[in-house]
Amino acid sequence: MSESIIYPFRLGLLGGGQLGRMLLPEASKLAIDVHILDPDANAPCRPFCSQFVQGSITDFDTVYQFGKDKNLITVEIENVNVEALAQLQAEGVAVYPQPQVLALIQDKRLQKQFYQENNIPTAPFVLTDTQQDLHAHTHLLPAVHKLGKAGYDGRGVQKLQHADELHKGFDSPSVLEQLIDFEQEISVIVARNTRGEIALFPPVAQVLDPVYNLVDYLIAPAELPETIAAEANRIATEIITRLDMVGILAVELFVTKDGKVLVNEVAPRPHNSGHHTIEANVTSQFEQHLRAILGLPLGATDTLQAAAMLNILGEAGHSGNVAYKGLDKVLGMKGVYVHLYGKATTKPQRKMGHITVTATAESPNPQEDLQQKIQTLKGLLRVEAANL
């Protein structure tokens, strides 16, 4: 396809958030014009794209009209109108990741069934249609009840510890999944291009914030036994191959205390757990996504420097116009890379940016060096409300 990139080349992107914002500089390096559809007039991407269309990414007509004159369509969020994308694809517009892949991943029930049908290790589960159904499956407790659709960042997810909590469950199509007592949560980002070539980034270790169940920080590459890393890579490769998917796929996995590797969830787009690749790897996940969907050769994924990534979340008790505090202290540390997402307003726990920090080259123990730097960085850069 690359030889047939006819300039000006119009890439349509559904979603204009921080993931798109980090994709745009990579598109500009290839002289690709990016047109963005997002409902938010203040979307982080708006100032940096060739054309911004304010509109719903879940409405058939809006997505279809937006997509008609594009050379290629991709997404930075999976909750989009798949029917419109399928129609565009039928009419000859290239759509990567493919609509059928998005449809499957949008529905946690279909996603789990896909793993089961393809013998991809995942937590035991049952599908439920009503809250009542839960009573027949108490043997799975403690468990997590997940809405089939529209769950995102912890929303639509309910922990069920004991049988007397079933009333907290969802009364609509969901999946009840046995709670995995995992040793570690890791993530593998895999890319597959239009030629079927596959490339894997080294696994990263996710450290979750126990309160908010969001990624607190991650360490890349993860310290893992050879066999665990190999199994994680095997599973990621198997999933993207079985999906016959083109693009970037983030595969989140549990490593159990007895050394099993189970897939948790996947995201068919650049992912929070791959932000460090911008500075720490030969190719970034954003460039890799573009290479994959444009039919270019995939880039090398080697680690240049061990790194940690810390999300910058809005301060508790602060809502309103954004003010950043401590930027000079953070930038005074060596090997620190600040990425602010340019959101006009902050609220508690909102993702406002991230910091990547690289290990000191001379450090005898990079992992420890990174842990220490993360502890120093925590709270150093604060996102507050200017009007408080």
Are 158 and 104 in contact, with CB atoms under 8 Å apart?
A: no
**Which residues are within 8 A (CB) of 322 and not within 5 positions of it... i.e. 6 or more apart?**
343, 344, 345, 346, 352, 383, 384, 385, 386
In the stretch 357-376, what mask flags binding to a copy of itself with x, by CB under 8 A?
-x--x---------------
Q: How far apart are CA 332 and CA 290, in angstroms?
A: 33
In the stretch 112-141, what mask flags binding to a copy of itself with x, by CB under 8 A?
------------------------------
List the one residue from 31, 41, 136, 388 that touches a copy of itself (CB under 8 A): 31
**Burial group, residue 222, by CB count within 10 angstroms (0-12, 13-18, 19+):** buried
Are 170 and 144 in contact, with CB atoms under 8 Å apart?
A: no
Report CA Rg, the chain.
Answer: 21
Asked if residue 3 binds a copy of itself (CB under 8 A), the reply is yes
Are 77 and 269 in contact, with CB atoms under 8 Å apart?
A: yes
In the stretch 335-354, what mask flags binding to a copy of itself with x, by CB under 8 A?
x-xxxxxx-x--------x-
Q: Shortest gap between Cβ of 192 and a copy of itself (angstroms)? A: 16
Asked if residue 47 binds a copy of itself (CB under 8 A), the reply is yes
Asked if residue 275 binds a copy of itself (CB under 8 A), the reply is no
Give whichever of 1 and 157 is closer to a copy of itself, judged by the CB atom: 1
Task: Establish whether 264 is an annotated binding residue.
Answer: yes
In the stretch 300-339, what mask flags binding to a copy of itself with x, by CB under 8 A?
x-x-xx---------------xxxxx-xx--xx-xx-xxx
* Neighbouring C-beta atoms of residue 8, cutoff 10 Å: 10
Are 77 and 45 in contact, with CB atoms under 8 Å apart?
A: no
Asked if residue 199 binds a copy of itself (CB under 8 A), the reply is no
* C-alpha distance from residue 329 to each of 58, 89, 358, 377, 382 (Å): 41, 49, 16, 9, 11
Chain residues that interact with a copy of itself, rule: CB under 8 A: 2-3, 5-8, 21, 24-25, 28-31, 33, 47-50, 282, 291, 295-297, 299-300, 302, 304-305, 321-325, 327-328, 331-332, 334-335, 337-342, 344, 353, 358, 361, 386
